[in-house]
Structure 1
Amino acid sequence: MNPESAADGPPETFFAAIGGEPTFRKLVDEFYAGVADDPLLRPMYPEADLGPAAERLTLFLMQYWGGPNTYSAQRGHPRLRMRHAPFRVGPAERDAWLTHMHRAVRSLDLPPEQEQPLWDYLERAAYFMVNTMDPMPG
């Protein structure tokens, strides 16, 4: 890339900087590979196939980080808490989600200056989704 023309153009998005769609697809595929066998999280996905949920998460993350706005075009405003309200999301579910997502983020092998903001956002989002502090019924 010509440095002079780069200075005239828009700044590179985080989406582009970490590799665009293939990187986000790998992240989400790795994440759902863990969710598929997780006894706490898997029941939260009523569809037999995790593919539709994976596609929604992929499109959301790509849009959030500066990629195409396909998520909003297809589904409207993200309204994350509202969309997750039907599900019990307590500390145990949050921690299980974070365990699988952390493994997925690490699988990307990003440099620290890219991995950290991605992880910080995902961690904040996981805490934001908690809608109950009640322990799981025994």
Structure 2
Amino acid sequence: MMLAGQAEATEPMFARIGGAIAVDRLVEAFYRRMDNEPSAKALRAMHGEDLGPTRQLLKRYLLEWMGGPKLYTAERGQPRLRERHLSFPIGAPERDAWLFCMRGALEETIEAPDLRADIDAALTKLAFWMRNQADEV
């Protein structure tokens, strides 16, 4: 016997979020915020002038990360995100700016509070793991 909400929790996040269209909206909202938020200025400066390729990579990564098609791995191999980002100084300020933009994008694009919280919790763990700079004392 399944309890209410139990089936939803076992569905891949990709299905729960609404598939590729929802991931696309999330990524577009994220980069729009990164372009416009003064607190994300240093984070934005780490990216190239043209965000198009970066947008596509994040979309492919999130599709796969959420349980959708394995487009990122097919194109780039195993994600190895931390290794791929070692050339970028990622400390607490960069992590926090990234999370600020992503949380705003989640708020803008994901209506269900429980789903938004699940995604936020998972992305927060990922953002903390991506740090490669010690806190300044």
**Which 4+ stretches in 1 moved above 2 angstroms?**
none
**Matches of residues 96-111 of structure 1 in structure 2 within 5 Å?**
96-111=97-112
Partner residue of 2:43? 41
Residues 79-138 of structure 1: CA deviation (Å, up to 9, x unaligned):
010011000001011111111011001012331221111111111111111101244xxx
Distance in 1 between residues matched to 2:94 and 2:12, nearest whole Å: 31
Task: Give the TM-score normalised by the residue count of structure 2.
Answer: 0.84
Q: In the comparison of the two structures, how many residue pairs are matched? A: 124
**Matches of residues 69-80 of structure 1 in structure 2 within 5 Å?**
69-80=70-81
Distance in 2 between residues matched to 1:25 and 1:125, nearest whole Å: 20
Alignment gaps of 5+ in structure 2: 1-9
Which one has the bigger helix percentage?
2
- Would the aligned equivalents of 1:36 and 1:50 in 2 still touch at CA under 8 Å? no
Give identity over the alignment, percent: 39
Q: Rg: which structure is higher? A: 1
Q: Does 1:115 align with 2:116?
A: yes
Distance in 2 between residues matched to 1:110 and 1:121, nearest whole Å: 17
Task: Give the TM-score normalised by the residue count of structure 1.
Answer: 0.84
Task: Using the TM superposition, give the Cα deviation of residue 66 of structure 1 relative to its aligned residue in structure 2, in angstroms.
Answer: 1.0
- Would the aligned equivalents of 1:98 and 1:123 in 2 still touch at CA under 8 Å? yes
Alignment gaps of 5+ in structure 1: 1-10
